[in-house]
Structure 1
Amino acid sequence: MTQKIQLPLQTANLVVGFMVWVLISSLLPFISEDINIPPERVAIITAIPVVLGSILRIPLGYYANVYGARVMFFISFIVLLFPVYYISETSTVTGLLIGGTLLGVGGAIFSVGVTSLPKYYPKEKHGLVNGIYGMGNIGTAITTFSAPVLAMKFGWSLTVKMYLVLLLVFIALNFFFGDRKEVKVKAPIVEQIKGVYKNEKLWFFSLFYFITFGSFVAFTVFLPNFLVNYFGLEKVDAGLRTAGFIVVATLLRPVGGWLGDKFQPLFLLMGCFAGLTAASIVLAFSPDIALYTVGSILIAAAAGIGNGVIFKLVPLYFSKQAGTVNGIVSMMGGLGGFFPPLLLATIFSMTGSYSIGFMAFSQVSLASLVLVVWLYYMDRVSLSKEVFDSTKQGILVTNQTGVIVSVNPAFTELTGYSEKEVLGKSPNVLSSGRHERAYYDDMWRQIEEEGVWHGEIWNKKKNGEEYLEFLSISAVRDGTGDVVRYVGSFSDISPVAGEGNRFS
């Protein structure tokens, strides 16, 4: 029973964590009426929780493996009690900065669930499970919409204090219903980082999440003030529109995870980055509120699906170091939400327009699209090489003139020749001399006419031992029909073969 409730419990934990995480940015229009905040400090105040909420994801993801999700959520919510109360009582910009820094713990708990929950489900469901958990992003929408409404009625200070009650409730829920028997992984964090930091996929996934989740966070903290100041909307209306953006991105996250379980995840990411590129170009032209809404919703959809897909990819490639990798990738996503608001605010102060910032975002998205395409094809090349190296049949590849350009390990094991010894030479180096010229003429005539030849042939190993092999030669042609290489695969079928030289 305890294991069955972990998905709903941890998803609810994330909802609460994200509700607390965006408290300041959601209430900033009200807070600024009581606290004089210089314009240049606004972006910093909203970005500070994002920074700590990003950096802390690495240790929280790691310690979720060491101590389990129950302990990490329990401690995190206790810690959050202090900044929430402090913010509700502060009357200075410095107080907002101090309290906002510790609010970052609310965003950092994301890496706890994505590390813990896959332990309870088979791999083919990891995308969907992490996608459902990621719906906890809806917490930002709940606060963005409800906090301004409550502040209008009760004031922003009392509204912030209401979150203390919510935190106390979830401290109790995790204490009583958290899984005390969760599987623990206690490999030192330094060893885990050493095991993954040289893997380029870690940094690719980090970049992709930097863009997808970063755009989600950036728009979440950027839209409330932007819609009020740029379009002159009412505070509650701006909060409602921002909540709509968050809801779309959040609901599509499990869809992205589910699609990642069913289809090639990298193909899905290509579509996401194409969507982000197109939408940000639309926003760069400073459209009216209607077209701006369309562009924002498209960004929400692409970011939401992309977020779900990426956390299907992480456990797929890093099953043993999932906690640390989840922490690094999700940290980069959180940092992705830190820079865009600062960049947009700086550009606006210099030019009076946000267009350059949105156009820059479109180019970053386009570059990410190119990288996903490159990674997909590199993955295919890597897969082909794995098959080439692991097959138990000897394989040699020649160019169109018959010069050997590649052989696999099985070739060396069967013939005794290393790759270095045969590269640049003709396959005749293996000839036993048993067959007449007419035999080879018939072979190549059939290859030229039919593109393939199969048959038995006597060849000779490096040590001079002759052996009988079953050989298949295929001609590989390009799009114009010209032969670009020949591939031969063979197995030892000698009546008597030494142990280890028999291939079937």
Structure 2
Amino acid sequence: MIKKIQLPLQTINLILGFMVWVTLSSLLPSIREDIIIPQERVALLTAIPVVLGSILRIPLGYYTNVLGARWIFTISFIVLLFPVFYLSVANSYLDLIISGAFLGVGGAVFSVGVTSLPKYYPKERSGFVNGIYGIGNAGTAVSTFGLPVLAAQFGWRTAVQIYLVLLLFFIVLNFFLGDKKEPRMKTPLMQQIKEVYKNEKLWLFSFFYFITFGAFVAFTVFLPNFLVTSFGLSKVDAGTRTAIFIVIATAGRPSGGWLGDKFNAYKLMMGVFAGLTISAIILAFSPNLALYTVGCLGVAVSAGLGNGVLFKLVPQYFTKQLGTVNGIVAMMGGLGGFFPPLMLSSIHNLTGQYSIGFMALSQVSLASLILILWMYFDNKKAQKI
């Protein structure tokens, strides 16, 4: 019974973790009404939670194999009580930076499930299982849509404090329903890294996830404030549109995992990067909200499918070091969400527009398409030998 509930339990854990992770960016338009934040520092503030949320994915993936998902989720949610409370009483830009950095723990829990759940299912279902777990990305949609609504009704500080209650509930839930007998692997972390760091596929998968998940995270934290300042939308409207983007990208993840189980994952990734290339070009030449919406939806579909397909590929090449490899790949994906908002903000400050930044995304996606083509033909050649 306990083993059967791990997939739904860990999926809702990820939903909560991602809800907390994007709390700051979701409420930023409301927070700026109370706390002075210079425009040139907005991008840094929204990117800060992404840093710790990315770097911690390696140790959390590793220690999931050592201690089990039950303890890692429980400890992570206990730690998150501090930054959530601190954010709710923040009165300065420094307070926001400090709380935002530790909110990153919410994003780091992603590597817990992708390490733990494959232990309960056969390899041929790994893509679908990781895709279902990836539905937890919807937590970002819950916050970007729900928090502005709650803030409008009760104030943004009260909206943040509601998450304290949720965290306490999930701490108890994981303590009692987490699997106490999850299989453990205790190979030292540095030994696992030494075994995989020379494998070119690790870094190619990391680069691909840097683009696909990075695009998802970057648009999630960038869109709410961007839509308000650039198109004059209301905070609730901007939150709703961002939530739609997240829902589409999140729905694409299990779809990508399922497709990865049924079809050639390399061919699917070719379609993903072709879609990202075209969508980014549309964004670069978007003079109005309608075209911008088309480009964003294209990114949502492509990134969502790519996130699901990629974690079908990883377990095919790494088994003994799966926790560490998942952590490294997941870290790179998170860091992929850190740099774009800063880059777009810098480009806008220099040129007064974002087009160059979106063109850069299209070119990096095109380079990824070329690399995945090379991997596909190299893999076919290896199979013939």
The TM tier, using the shorter chain, reads: over 0.9
Q: Deviations over 1:351-392 (max 9, x none)?
A: 01110100111000000000000011111222223xxxxxxx
Aligned counterparts of 1:206 and 1:237: Cα–Cα separation in 2: 34
- Asked if the contact 1:81–1:164 (Cα under 8 Å) also holds between the matched residues in 2, the reply is yes
Aligned counterparts of 1:286 and 1:303: Cα–Cα separation in 2: 19
| Matching of residues 386-465 of structure 1 within 5 Å | none
Name segments (4+ residues, structure 1) moved above 3 Å: none
Alignment of 1:152 onto 2:152: yes
2:183 match? 183
| Matching of residues 62-81 of structure 1 within 5 Å | 62-81=62-81
Report how far residue 287 of structure 1 moved: 3.0
Q: Deviations over 1:8-47 (max 9, x none)?
A: 0000000000000000000000101100001121111110
Structure 1 runs not aligned, ≥5 long: 386-504
Alignment of 1:220 onto 2:220: yes
2:45 match? 45
Report how far residue 221 of structure 1 moved: 0.4
Report how far residue 286 of structure 1 moved: 2.3
Aligned counterparts of 2:47 and 2:227: Cα–Cα separation in 1: 18
2:287 match? 287
1:88 match? 88
Q: Deviations over 1:38-66 (max 9, x none)?
A: 11211111101001000000000000000
Partner of 1:33, secondary structure, is coil
2:19 match? 19
1:319 match? 319
Please tell me the root mean square deviation across aligned C-alpha atoms, in Å: 0.6
Q: What amino acid is the match of 2:118?
A: P
Aligned counterparts of 1:129 and 1:262: Cα–Cα separation in 2: 13
2:335 match? 335
Aligned counterparts of 2:98 and 2:235: Cα–Cα separation in 1: 25
Greater percentage in helix: 2
- Asked if the contact 1:286–1:354 (Cα under 8 Å) also holds between the matched residues in 2, the reply is no
Q: Which has the higher contact order (CA 8 A, sep 6+)?
A: 2
Aligned counterparts of 1:159 and 1:217: Cα–Cα separation in 2: 22
Report how far residue 319 of structure 1 moved: 1.2
1:270 match? 270
Partner of 2:32, secondary structure, is helix
1:466 match? none
Q: What amino acid is the match of 1:160?
A: V
Aligned counterparts of 2:108 and 2:227: Cα–Cα separation in 1: 27
Partner of 1:230, secondary structure, is helix
- Asked if the contact 1:256–1:304 (Cα under 8 Å) also holds between the matched residues in 2, the reply is yes
1:126 match? 126
Aligned counterparts of 1:84 and 1:188: Cα–Cα separation in 2: 33
1:238 match? 238
Corresponding pairs, count = 385
Q: Deviations over 1:332-368 (max 9, x none)?
A: 0000000100000000011011101001110000000
Alignment of 1:32 onto 2:21: no
Aligned counterparts of 1:51 and 1:40: Cα–Cα separation in 2: 19
Aligned counterparts of 1:88 and 1:33: Cα–Cα separation in 2: 14
Q: What amino acid is the match of 2:313?
A: L
Q: What amino acid is the match of 1:12?
A: I
Aligned counterparts of 1:141 and 1:91: Cα–Cα separation in 2: 26
2:351 match? 351
Q: What amino acid is the match of 2:361?
A: F
1:99 match? 99
1:443 match? none
1:139 match? 139
